[in-house]
Amino acid sequence: MPSGAASAEIAEYRASVAGRMRLLVEAVRNVDRETLNARPYEGANSPFALAEHAAGNARAWILGIACGYGIVRDRPGEFAASGDAATLVAVLEHIAEEVDRALAAIDPGRLDARLIPDKVLWGEGEPHAITVRRAIVQVIEHASLHLGHLHTTLEWLRARR
């Protein structure tokens, strides 16, 4: 039976991931299509792609890696994605709900379980053994990184006008 501390830890992870997903939604909700899909320079990512990638990472690392669900990830597609704010918000909100349900179902006793993620879900570099806890924390770190990147990119694009 999981301890209260382990259950509280899962609750903290849920709140942290949900908060970052909410911030992604807030960042893109009212952005016009042109700005949302603009790339500040050749080879850079658009705000749309950054948000899509942060959500794809959350889905891959929590559903696929931490929970072991059989999902497919198209990481290159995350960076090539484009569209309007309403569509992106709907995707972000759907993934946030999906990830929250998955986190709620994790047995806190599994947080220290070690696993080697599938390369397709892992992303760049070679996968190596990590714990379920580390997979969840990676999502929080990664979403935070790209949230800052998204804000900076939007500021730069708006200033350039």
In degrees, rounded to 5, the angle at the alpha carbon of residue 68 between the alpha carbons of residues 110 and 113 is 25
**CA pair distance 97, 63, nearest whole angstrom:** 11
> Sorting pLDDT into bands at 50, 70 and 90, what band is 92?
very high
Stretch 84-106: mean pLDDT: 97
Structure tokens at 93: 């909100």
The full set of domains in the chain, from first to last, is: 4-160 (1.20.120.450)
Q: What is the pLDDT of residues 65-75, one digit of tens each?
A: 999 999 999 99
pLDDT score at 5: 79
pLDDT score at 1: 42
pTM for the full predicted model: 0.94
pLDDT score at 68: 96
Question: Based on C-alpha coordinates, what's the Rg of the chain?
Answer: 16
Q: Give the sign of the dihedral formed by CA 27, CA 30, CA 38, CA 90.
A: positive
Stretch 95-105: mean pLDDT: 97
| Cβ partners under 8 Å of residue 83, min gap 6 | 33, 36, 37, 48
Stretch 93-97: mean pLDDT: 98
> Sorting pLDDT into bands at 50, 70 and 90, what band is 3?
low
Q: Helices (DSSP H) in the chain: which residue ranges?
A: 4-28, 33-37, 47-58, 75-80, 85-105, 119-122, 132-160
- Judged against a pLDDT cut of 50, whether residue 143 lies above it is answered with yes
**CA pair distance 80, 34, nearest whole angstrom:** 15
**CA pair distance 30, 99, nearest whole angstrom:** 24
Q: What is the pLDDT of residues 53-89, one digit of tens each?
A: 999 999 999 999 999 999 999 999 999 999 999 999 9
3-class DSSP assignment, residue 130: strand
Q: What's the number of CA atoms in the CB half-sphere (13 Å) around residue 103?
A: 30
